């Protein structure tokens, strides 16, 4: 419950006196509705008992690296591991030395978490418990429990652990859709092992894309090593996120921190509770963003959707008829605003489900039915095929390109029906990034079928206007814009 202290005039007479003083001096009086900072004490008393400290240990099986400092603070080790900072070394004897402990359980890191249910399910970050031999959960009342890892999902950085207890205090989760930028929030956790530490700030932005699977909540709440896995709490005493990351150039807190939205985390935790892992959908495409320049050039209008750079052979998208160069704009009627949305939308679809993709191809949209498969590692791209015995290249034209027909073998290798192979690139083509071995599939949304047709299409181009090419290089396709020389 939020409590605000208000600054009000002591009396009508005094208020009039202050107003007169303000007019006489030119200093405007403070508005009567000005309010003080919120009081967080009730929130801490309400939610604090459900916040836990998490310590982990691991077996010292490996040999220590030469010069590694075995006495470095364990809380800082968690910090270095999480944010990719090199671990400080100190001079030591040559050769490898046994790691301290000789196989005994050694402290590994410290983090935070919060109790989801009265029977002992605790949520935290996956990176907090990753590689742990033992997980020790300490409650606010100082009771300690050895926890079992129910499951951890590295892609969302969510983990669920279980302690053998009942009647525990637990958190209430909030509605992330109601969260607004500028809203007060607090964090409770164990930075550097200091249990039950409270910090406060505001929501700086919602749905911040940091390259992770989930869009994150950005705040200016102070988050430090050991806060990971702790709750982000709104002014109603509800958990709205899991504190997970910071942005830093120095390795320390710099005023920007990120939390995983609690609604997404709950969906992950439910799957972890049932099956110990998270099942996500996939369709087998490699994608890229659509730039405003490309969108305008190909007639898409605005930069929306996900550009398909390559399609996995025999994968769901391939079977559905998706081609490199397509732009996926909708999935089951849901708009794909950017390339970052597609993995999230597809990942949320249960494998085996039939979905409808709307794709933009050569100036028109079409619907394709795809059966979503279960997520797995994407296949690596193959190298660009050999030159082969194609037809003789056409002479270099106004675009600075010499091209040749593709052989049937090259078409099979590249998985294309048509196109021409670039034999040389000069001038505007070279400046745009074209090079020998690239395959030109379309020019201004016109499909290219042969070197002769390529010459006919380019001969009709307005040499004063930019030209948009769909180009395939190896397994990946992208759009390139050729600009006339000025």
pLDDT in tens, 286-297: 888 898 999 998
- Specify whether 193 is located in the same domain as 268: yes
- Specify whether 54 is located in the same domain as 107: yes
Does residue 384 lie within any of the structural domains? no
CA-CA-CA-CA torsion for 469, 472, 476, 479, nearest 10 degrees?
A: 0
- Domain CATH number, residue 186: 2.40.10.10
Q: Range of 62's domain? A: 48-162
Report how far residue 463's alpha carbon sits from residue 163's, in angstroms, rounded to the nearest whole number. 71
Tell me if 226 is assigned to a ligand binding site: yes
pLDDT at 14: 39
- Specify whether 52 is located in the same domain as 94: yes
Instruction: Give the chain's mean pLDDT.
Output: 80
| Of residues 464 and 328, more confidently modeled | 328
Mean pLDDT of the 33-54 span: 87
- Specify whether 271 is located in the same domain as 308: no
Tell me if 251 is assigned to a ligand binding site: no
132, 162, 192 — which closes off a domain? 162
Q: Which segments within 362-458 are labelled E, that is strand?
A: 364-371, 373-374, 401-405, 420-425, 439-443, 446-447
Would you say 395 and 380 are in contact if contact means Cβ atoms under 8 Å apart?
no
- Specify whether 54 is located in the same domain as 132: yes
Does residue 413 lie within any of the structural domains? yes
Does residue 8 lie within any of the structural domains? no
Active site residues: 127, 157, 228
Q: Does 206 score more than 70 pLDDT?
A: yes
Give the range with max mean pLDDT: 179-188, 241-250, 426-435, 471-480. Answer: 179-188
Report how far residue 166's alpha carbon sits from residue 168's, in angstroms, rounded to the nearest whole number. 5
* Nearest residue to 421 (alpha-carbon basis) of 455, 381, 391: 391
- Specify whether 251 is located in the same domain as 217: yes
Q: Cβ-count burial of 25 within 10 angstroms (0-12 exposed, 13-18 middle, 19+ buried)?
A: exposed
Tokens of 300: 């898409």
* Nearest residue to 207 (alpha-carbon basis) of 221, 196, 218, 199: 218
Reported as a pLDDT band with limits 50, 70 and 90, residue 253 is: low
Would you say 38 and 44 are in contact if contact means Cβ atoms under 8 Å apart?
no
Report how far residue 411's alpha carbon sits from residue 9's, in angstroms, rounded to the nearest whole number. 82
Give the range with max mean pLDDT: 226-235, 308-317, 419-428, 445-454. Answer: 226-235
pLDDT at 248: 63
Report how far residue 486's alpha carbon sits from residue 302's, in angstroms, rounded to the nearest whole number. 27
- Specify whether 413 is located in the same domain as 448: yes
pLDDT at 77: 56
Does residue 194 lie within any of the structural domains? yes
Does residue 255 lie within any of the structural domains? yes
Does residue 463 lie within any of the structural domains? yes
Q: Cβ-count burial of 134 within 10 angstroms (0-12 exposed, 13-18 middle, 19+ buried)?
A: middle
The dihedral built from the CA positions of residue 63, 68, 70 and 75, taken in this order, carries a sign that is: negative
Q: What are residue 192's phi and psi, to 5 degrees?
A: 55, 30
Mean pLDDT of the 463-482 span: 86
How much of the chain, in percent, has pLDDT values that exceed 90?
Answer: 42
- Domain CATH number, residue 428: 2.30.42.10
Report how many domains make up the chain: 4
- Specify whether 263 is located in the same domain as 199: yes
- Specify whether 158 is located in the same domain as 58: yes
Does residue 12 lie within any of the structural domains? no
Report how far residue 125's alpha carbon sits from residue 228's, in angstroms, rounded to the nearest whole number. 6
**What's the length of the chain?**
486
Q: Which segments within 60-100 are labelled E, that is strand?
A: 63-64, 97-98
- Specify whether 202 is located in the same domain as 248: yes
DSSP secondary structure letter of residue 89:
B
339, 374, 409 — which closes off a domain? 374
Would you say 305 and 328 are in contact if contact means Cβ atoms under 8 Å apart?
yes
Three-state SS for 170-194 is: CCEECCHHHCCCCCEEEEEECHHHC
Give the pTM.
0.63
Tell me if 475 is assigned to a ligand binding site: no
Mean pLDDT of the 197-213 span: 85
Does residue 262 lie within any of the structural domains? yes
Tell me if 228 is assigned to a ligand binding site: yes
**Look-up: residue for tokens 């998490």?**
54
Tell me if 33 is assigned to a ligand binding site: no
51 DSSP β-pair partners: 114
275, 305, 340 — which closes off a domain? 275
- Specify whether 204 is located in the same domain as 252: yes
Tokens of 383: 């190298």
Report how far residue 51's alpha carbon sits from residue 116's, in angstroms, rounded to the nearest whole number. 10
Tens of pLDDT, residues 450-472: 888 888 888 888 877 888 989 98
- Specify whether 261 is located in the same domain as 303: no
């Amino acid at each position: 419950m939020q409590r605000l202290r208000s600054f009000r005039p002591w009396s009508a007479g005094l208020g009039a006196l202050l107003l007169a003083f303000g007019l006489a001096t030119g200093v405007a009086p403070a508005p009567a509705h000005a309010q003080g900072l919120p009081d967080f004490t009730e929130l801490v008393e309400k939610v604090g008992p459900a916040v836990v400290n998490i310590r982990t240990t691991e077996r010292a099986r490996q040999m220590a690296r030469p010069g590694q400092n075995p006495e470095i603070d364990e809380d800082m080790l968690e910090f270095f591991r999480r944010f990719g900072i090199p671990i400080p070394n100190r001079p030591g004897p040559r050769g490898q030395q046994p790691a301290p402990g000789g196989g005994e359980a050694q402290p590994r890191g410290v983090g935070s978490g919060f109790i989801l249910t009265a029977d002992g399910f605790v949520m935290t970050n996956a990176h907090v418990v990753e590689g742990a031999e033992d997980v020790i959960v300490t409650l606010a009342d100082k009771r300690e429990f050895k926890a079992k890892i129910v499951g951890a999902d590295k892609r969302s950085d969510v983990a669920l652990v279980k302690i053998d207890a009942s009647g525990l205090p637990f958190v209430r989760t909030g509605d992330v859709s109601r969260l607004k930028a500028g809203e007060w929030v607090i964090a409770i956790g164990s930075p550097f092992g200091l249990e039950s530490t409270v910090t406060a700030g505001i929501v700086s932005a919602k749905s911040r894309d940091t390259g992770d699977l989930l869009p994150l909540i950005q705040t200016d709440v102070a988050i430090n090593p050991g806060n990971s896995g702790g709750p982000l709490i709104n002014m109603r005493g509800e958990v709205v996120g899991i504190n997970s990351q910071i942005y830093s150039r120095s390795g320390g807190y710099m005023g920007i921190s990120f939390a995983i939205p609690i609604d997404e985390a709950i969906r992950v935790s439910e799957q972890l509770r049932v099956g110990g892992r998270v099942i996500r959908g996939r369709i087998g495409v490699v994608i890229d963003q659509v730039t405003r320049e490309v969108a305008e050039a190909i007639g898409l209008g605005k930069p929306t959707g996900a550009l398909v750079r390559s399609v996995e052979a025999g994968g769901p998208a391939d079977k559905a008829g998706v081609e490199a160069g397509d732009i996926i704009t909708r999935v089951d009627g849901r708009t794909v605003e950017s390339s970052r949305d597609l993995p999230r939308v597809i990942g949320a679809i249960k494998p085996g489900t039939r979905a409808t993709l709307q794709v933009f191809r050569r100036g028109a949209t079409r619907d394709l039915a795809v059966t979503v498969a279960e997520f797995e590692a994407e296949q690596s791209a193959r190298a660009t095929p050999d030159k082969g015995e194609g037809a003789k290249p056409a002479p270099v034209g106004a675009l600075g390109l010499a091209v040749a027909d593709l052989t049937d073998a090259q078409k099979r290798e590249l998985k294309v029906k048509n196109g021409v192979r670039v034999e040389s690139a000069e001038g505007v083509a070279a400046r745009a990034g074209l090079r020998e071995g690239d395959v030109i599939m379309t020019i201004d949304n016109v499909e290219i079928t042969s070197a002769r047709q390529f010459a006919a299409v380019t001969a009709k181009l307005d040499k004063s206007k930019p030209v948009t090419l769909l180009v395939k290089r190896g397994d990946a396709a992208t759009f390139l814009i050729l600009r006339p020389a000025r």
